[in-house]
Structure 1
Amino acid sequence: MKKLLWIMLSVGVVLLVFMMNYFVDKRQQQPNMTQSVSLTTSTSPDKKNIVEVKKIYTQSTDYFDYEQKQKVDSVRMYYGRSGSMLNQYRELKGIHPSRIRNVDVYWRNNQHVIIDIINTKQYKKNKVDKRFNYHLKEL
């Protein structure tokens, strides 16, 4: 009976030490930082609207390894009037952000934009992996 009590007490102390270490590390951990890299920028034919396609990265610190980790989260199309801060965006879904080789932007008119995503795994040159059509007035 004493042996079982000592085993349970030892397991409890070890578990308590691990839990305290986990919560102390979580308190010291910085919140995830978001960074972006511009892939391309394009202005409408009348120069009134602008579209910028960006890769969005989340950066965090892993305190078990003490190193910075970066992960590509998404690809976004920011849009707005030329000369203004581009705060409005749309997520470009259905693509793998880390595999993007090239992004092409075409304008049908001053409000209709077409974004072509070309993957790194595409063996044929200029083969479009995904195409997005947006009317800026409708967004």
Structure 2
Amino acid sequence: MKKWLWIMLSVGVITLVFMMNYFIDKSQQQQSMIHSVSLTTSTSPEQQNIVEVKKMYKQTTDYFDYEQKQKADSLRMYYGQPGSTLNQYKELQGIQPSMIHDVNVHWKSEQHVIINIMKTNHQHKNKVYKQFKYNLSEM
């Protein structure tokens, strides 16, 4: 009876250690946005606003070989006035960032911007994959 108690206790402790390690690594990964790549930058027709679409990358750990890797995490549209630091952003939801390589920006007015996420089809022609419309004065 004592033998089974020690075996179960050992298995429980080992499981607890692995679970704690897993959740600690996950919590650290949430804060590890390491760099971004600008896909396009566009200024409004009368130079009042600017948007920049960036692909954001974060660092992850491969648990099989404990190798640090960079993974495309999200697409963001940063916006503001030309010459200022672009700190404000909007996440472009519903797309896989690793599959996106081309983005077009069209201005309807100084405040209204359309972001077209492009995808290449089988004939190697770009098609609009997803479209986002924003009014910068309401953000």
Unaligned runs of 5+ in 2: none
Unaligned runs of 5+ in 1: none
Q: Which residue of 2 aligns with 1:104?
A: 104
TM-score normalised by L of structure 1: 0.80
Whether contact under 8 Å (1:30, 1:61) holds in the other structure is no
Partners of 2:129 and 2:18 in 1: how far apart?
46
Whether contact under 8 Å (1:41, 1:51) holds in the other structure is yes
Q: Which residue of 2 aligns with 1:5?
A: 2
Q: Which residue of 1 aligns with 2:122?
A: 123
- Alpha carbons of 1:136 and 1:28: their partners in 2 closer, same or farther (altered >3 Å)? closer
Question: SS state of the match for residue 113, structure 1?
Answer: strand
Whether contact under 8 Å (1:79, 1:88) holds in the other structure is yes
Q: Which residue of 2 aligns with 1:52?
A: 52
Question: What is the deviation of 1:41?
Answer: 0.7
Cα RMSD of the aligned pairs, angstroms, is: 2.5
Partners of 2:3 and 2:51 in 1: how far apart?
67
State how many pairs are aligned.
135
Q: 1:128-139 alignment to 2 at 5 Å?
A: 128-139=128-139
Partners of 1:79 and 1:9 in 2: how far apart?
60
Q: Which residue of 1 aligns with 2:61?
A: 61
Greater CA radius of gyration, 1 or 2? 1
Question: SS state of the match for residue 128, structure 1?
Answer: strand
TM-score normalised by L of structure 2: 0.80
Whether contact under 8 Å (2:36, 2:54) holds in the other structure is yes
Match of residue 16, structure 1, among 13, 18, 24: 13
Question: SS state of the match for residue 128, structure 2?
Answer: coil
Question: What is the deviation of 1:25?
Answer: 7.3
